[in-house]
Structure 1
């Protein structure tokens, strides 16, 4: 029983309570849940599952975002690696330049692409995950 507000009586400490003879104290599990988080956006999920025109538009937007990311990064790789042979053709002295006995053209064409591919792959993965999260957030709202 909770004491009235005007009473200054202290509640007993639950750890020191003794059960009545022949009975045991029961534990009570208290769970606070946000009911808003349990709600699912049924309309958008149904439209995606039933492949309605709205669901198709949502998926089409996701595919377009992924395609834009792919084309942008592919263009970046093509420009960065495609400009090297053009540079060697326009400036033949640059192609024969060597550092520590190794031609710069071999370094730029044989070593440079690997860290570039790793960086572009990481950038693509990050952007694709961001596109997926944006799609999920749009569907869930």
Structure 2
């Protein structure tokens, strides 16, 4: 073969566009965060639902606390219970762990409500990954 018939090396092409997988499509619906910031009816419904769930948790904790601690005077009215030193043990020692458990339940429930709301409001494409240590 002569030099004239040898195929030339293929021409190199450089692609400078964004890879297909990295392109972000616009959401099919407006994220809930924009609904809230624009103060639309739907955004107000989201916020009202969060407030209602937080109020329900708070009223539940208050009800349990009122039933437990509020029933103690009724228990102490009994002839045997009112005259013994167990009244002071119950009031001075046993009430506080019960109050702590109720408070712990409330905080856990409130945090779960907020996490559910945040999951509802954030766009799935914007979910942050783990933060690198500083």
Q: TM-score, normalised by structure 2?
A: 0.67
Q: Offset of 1:123 from its aligned partner?
A: 0.9
SS of 1:51's partner is coil
Q: Offset of 1:76 from its aligned partner?
A: 0.3
Q: Within the alignment, does 1:135 sit opposite 2:122 as a pair? A: no
Q: 1:36 to 1:116 in 2, by over 3 A?
A: farther
Structure 2 residue aligned with 1:82: 70
Gaps of 5+ in 1: 1-33, 98-102
Task: Extract structure 1 runs of 4+ deviating beyond 3 A.
Answer: 34-37, 39-42
Are the counterparts in 1 of residues 35 and 42 from structure 2 also a CA contact under 8 Å?
Answer: yes
Q: TM-score, normalised by structure 1?
A: 0.64
Gaps of 5+ in 2: 1-20, 125-134
Q: Distance in 2 between matches of 1:114 and 1:74?
A: 15
SS of 2:71's partner is helix
CA displacement 1:81-124 (0-9 Å, x = unmatched): 111100111x1211223xxxxx0011111222221222111111
SS of 2:31's partner is helix
Q: Distance in 2 between matches of 1:62 and 1:105?
A: 40
Structure 1 residue aligned with 2:83: 96
Higher relative contact order (CA 8 A, sep 6+): 2
Within the candidate set 120, 124, 136, 2:102 is matched to 120
Structure 1 residue aligned with 2:36: 48
